[in-house]
Amino acid sequence: MQNGSGNERVIVFDTTLRDGEQAPGASMTLQQKLQVARVLGHLGVDVIEAGFPVASPGDFEAVQAVARAVEGPTIAALARASRGDIDRAVDALTGARKQRVHVFLATSPIHRQHKLKMSREDVLRLATGSVAYARSRCEDVEFSAEDAARTEPEFLAEVVERVIEAGATTINIPDTVGYAVPAQFAELIAFLRRTVRGIDDIVLSVHCHDDLGLAVANSLAALQAGARQVECTVNGVGERAGNCSLEEVVMALRTRADFLKLETGIRTQQLCNASRVVAAATGFHVARNKAVVGQNAFAHESGIHQHGMIEFPLTYEVMRPEDVGFKSTSLVLGKHSGRHALASRLRDLGYELEPAQIDQVFEELKKLADKKKEIYDGDLEALLVSLFHRSAAASWTLVSLTAASGTGTPPSAAVRLQRRGGRAQEEAATGDGPVDAVFKCIERITGVNAKLRSLQIASVSAGEDAQGEATVDVESDGRRFRGRGVNTDIVVASAEAYLEVVNHIAAGRLPRRSPAVPEMTCGAV
C-alpha cells in the first residue's frame, strides 16, 4: 500500500513480550508486561504479540490482560499447530478489538527429521489443517514456517501456497537460527513472490534472529524484496543473540526512505522511552554504544567531531537525537516535589500508572529522598522495578542485614529474613567476600541452593550518593533466573537481587522453556 509520500507502508509486528521474553532470564511480571504493552501502543506498533498462552497459566493471563488493556494495535497470540494451542490462544485473545492467532510449524529438514519426526506430507497436512482450524475461530491468522531460512525453497513455496489456500492472512518467513545472509534471504523472498500462487493476497512477513549479527540487515533485504511486515523486539531482546531490533530497523527505514521508499507508523520520538521501559522490565541493560538508543549513540568526544557538530550537526549525525526521543539524563525530583510532578515525570518517561500505583511510588520516593539529595530518572525507574517485583507475592523478605569486610579479617554477614505467614529467621556466615557471605546466609535460611553465574553492579544515576543496581544471574535445576535489587548500599542491593531469584525458585515460578515439539497427531489437529 502506498502512502501520500509515495512510500509503501511496512507493518511493525512487535514480539518483545513473546520472543523477547523467551530470552533466558528475561521473564517479566504481569505488571511489567502490561507496562511494556502500553508503551508499545504509544509507540504505534501495528501488532503486539503478547505471548504464548498454552505455555503457562501466567502466559495465558498476560495475553488476556494485554488484550483487554491495550487498544489500537492488533493483539496476537502464538500457538503450535495443534487444536489445543489454537483454542487456548483464541480464549486468551477474547477482549481484544483486533485479534490474531499466530500458528507455527517447523518446515526445515533438520527440524522435520530430528524434532518433529515427520515427513514433508505430514508437515503439509498438519500446517494446512491447523491453519484451517485457526481460521474457523479467528479472521486474522498468521502462519510461520519455523526455520524457513534452512528449508528447501521449493518445499517452503509448497507449504506457503497450501496454507494460503487454507486461509492464512499473513505468512511469516523466519530465520529462526540467524543463518541467512542478506542477498540470499532477499532472493528467498523474491522466489516466493515469483512462484507462490495467491501470495499477493496475503501479507508477507519476516522474522530474523541475530546469531550472526545480521537480523536487521536481513530484515531490510527482505523488505526490499517485497516483504511488508517486519517482526522485531525493542532493544533486540530475544532467544540467544536476540531478534531484529525494532528501533534499528525502524530508524533505518526512516533515515533511508530516500532509497528504500518504505515507511512505518512508528512514533519514533517514543523509541528511547520504549527502550528504557523494556530494559528496566527485562533487566537487560542496553550497551552504551547500541545503535539508536545507546547512551553514546549521540555523544561526540573527539575535537574534530565536536567542531563539525557545532558548525552543522548533520556532519556527524544521520539522525537527530530528538527524532528518537533522546534526552540526556536529568535531575527529576527532590524532597519537596509533589505527586503531580511525579505523575508528569512518569508519563514523560513512558510509564502509565494507576493512581494507586502513583501513590505507592510517591511514598517510596519520599523515603529515598531522605537518603539521597537528588533523584534522577534512573532512580525513579529503579524504584518502579523494585515495586513491580515486590508486588509478585514474595515468600521471603529482607528484615535486616549486616556485613563486614576489610583487610586481615574474614568477610562475614548476618541476615534476618521474614517468611510470608511465618516467623523471622536469622543466620550468620563467612564467605569469600561480604556478598558471598550474605548469599550463604540466604541459602541457609531458605534452603534454596543456586549456582551464581554472574553478579553485576551498576550505578543507576549520577552523583556520589548514586544508588547501586545489582543484577544476579543464577542457575538452578538447569534453568536460568535473573534478579535485581537497588539500594544506596550495594551489599543490600545484591541481597535483594538474590532474594528475588530465591523467591521465584521457592514459589516454583520457573521461567518457561522454549516451545518444544508439539504434542499432536499428524492430519487431525
Residues 415, 271: Cα–Cα separation, whole Å: 41
Between 101 and 332, name the residue whose CB sits nearer to ligand KIV. 101
Residues 298, 112: Cα–Cα separation, whole Å: 46
- Whether 294 contacts 239, CB under 8 Å: no
Q: How far is CA 409 from the centre of its chain?
A: 44
Between 209 and 389, name the residue whose CB sits nearer to ligand KIV. 209
Closest contact distance (angstroms) between CB of 19 and Zn ion is 4
Between 112 and 209, name the residue whose CB sits nearer to ligand KIV. 209
Residues 140, 161: Cα–Cα separation, whole Å: 17
Closest contact distance (angstroms) between CB of 8 and ligand KIV is 23
Give me 179's grid cell: 543463518
Closest contact distance (angstroms) between CB of 89 and Zn ion is 17
For ligand KIV, which stretch binds (CB under 6 A), given 170-178, 180-188, 341-349, 430-438?
170-178
Closest contact distance (angstroms) between CB of 209 and ligand KIV is 6
Contact track, ligand KIV, 223-262, x by CB under 6 A: ----------------------------------------
Residues 387, 362: Cα–Cα separation, whole Å: 11
Give me 334's grid cell: 527532590
Instruction: Please report whether residue 263 would count as binding ligand KIV according to CB under 6 A.
Output: no
Between 144 and 218, name the residue whose CB sits nearer to ligand KIV. 144
By CB atoms closer than 10 A (0-12, 13-18, 19+), residue 233 is: buried
CA distances, 248 to each of 217, 402, 440 (Å): 10, 45, 43
Closest contact distance (angstroms) between CB of 126 and ligand KIV is 15
- Residues 354-413 touching ligand KIV, rule: CB under 6 A, are none
Contacted entry of Zn ion, ligand KIV, none for residue 482, CB cut-off 5 to 8 Å set by kind: none
The number of C-alpha atoms within 13 Å of 511 and in the hemisphere containing its C-beta is 24
Closest contact distance (angstroms) between CB of 423 and ligand KIV is 46
Closest contact distance (angstroms) between CB of 223 and ligand KIV is 17
Instruction: Please report whether residue 112 would count as binding ligand KIV according to CB under 6 A.
Output: no
- Residues with Cβ within 8 Å of 181's Cβ and at least 6 positions away in sequence, in order, are 212, 214, 218
CA distances, 194 to each of 153, 183, 328 (Å): 12, 16, 48
Residues 234, 268: Cα–Cα separation, whole Å: 12
Q: Among residues 27, 29, 144, 205, which is the contact residue for ligand KIV, using CB under 6 A?
A: 144
Between 188 and 502, name the residue whose CB sits nearer to ligand KIV. 188
Instruction: Please report whether residue 21 would count as binding ligand KIV according to CB under 6 A.
Output: no
Which residues make up the interface to Zn ion (CB under 5 A)? 19
In 393-450, at which residue ranges do the beta strands (DSSP E only) sit? Answer: 396-406, 409-419, 424-430
Instruction: Please report whether residue 19 would count as binding ligand KIV according to CB under 6 A.
Output: yes
- Residues with Cβ within 8 Å of 363's Cβ and at least 6 positions away in sequence, in order, are none
Cβ neighbours, 10 Å, residue 121: 10
Nearest to 163 by CA among 46, 155, 186: 155
Q: How many residues bind ligand KIV (CB under 6 A)?
A: 9
For ligand KIV, which stretch binds (CB under 6 A), given 127-135, 168-176, 315-323, 363-371?
168-176
Between 19 and 59, name the residue whose CB sits nearer to Zn ion. 19
Between 289 and 514, name the residue whose CB sits nearer to Zn ion. 514
Between 22 and 395, name the residue whose CB sits nearer to ligand KIV. 22
Specify the 3-state DSSP secondary structure of 242. coil
Q: Among residues 33, 111, 150, 207, which is the contact residue for ligand KIV, using CB under 6 A?
A: 207
- Residues with Cβ within 8 Å of 408's Cβ and at least 6 positions away in sequence, in order, are none
Between 78 and 116, name the residue whose CB sits nearer to Zn ion. 78
Closest contact distance (angstroms) between CB of 174 and ligand KIV is 3
- Whether 189 contacts 171, CB under 8 Å: no
Q: Greatest CA span in the chain, whole angstroms?
A: 78
Instruction: Please report whether residue 174 would count as binding ligand KIV according to CB under 6 A.
Output: yes
Residues 210, 216: Cα–Cα separation, whole Å: 8
Contacted entry of Zn ion, ligand KIV, none for residue 80, CB cut-off 5 to 8 Å set by kind: none
Closest contact distance (angstroms) between CB of 14 and ligand KIV is 13
- Residues 67-106 touching ligand KIV, rule: CB under 6 A, are 104
Closest contact distance (angstroms) between CB of 15 and ligand KIV is 7
Between 73 and 325, name the residue whose CB sits nearer to ligand KIV. 73
**N- to C-terminal Cα distance for the chain?**
35
Q: Using CA atoms of 424, 430, 435, 440 in order, give the dihedral in degrees to the nearest 10.
A: -50
Give me 43's grid cell: 509507540
Closest contact distance (angstroms) between CB of 152 and ligand KIV is 17
Give the DSSP letter of residue 113.
Answer: I
CA distances, 250 to each of 18, 175, 276 (Å): 19, 19, 17
For ligand KIV, which stretch binds (CB under 6 A), given 35-43, 158-166, 171-179, 429-437?
171-179
Instruction: Please report whether residue 146 would count as binding ligand KIV according to CB under 6 A.
Output: yes
Closest contact distance (angstroms) between CB of 394 and ligand KIV is 32
Interface with ligand KIV (CB under 6 A) = 19, 104, 144, 146, 172, 174, 176, 207, 209
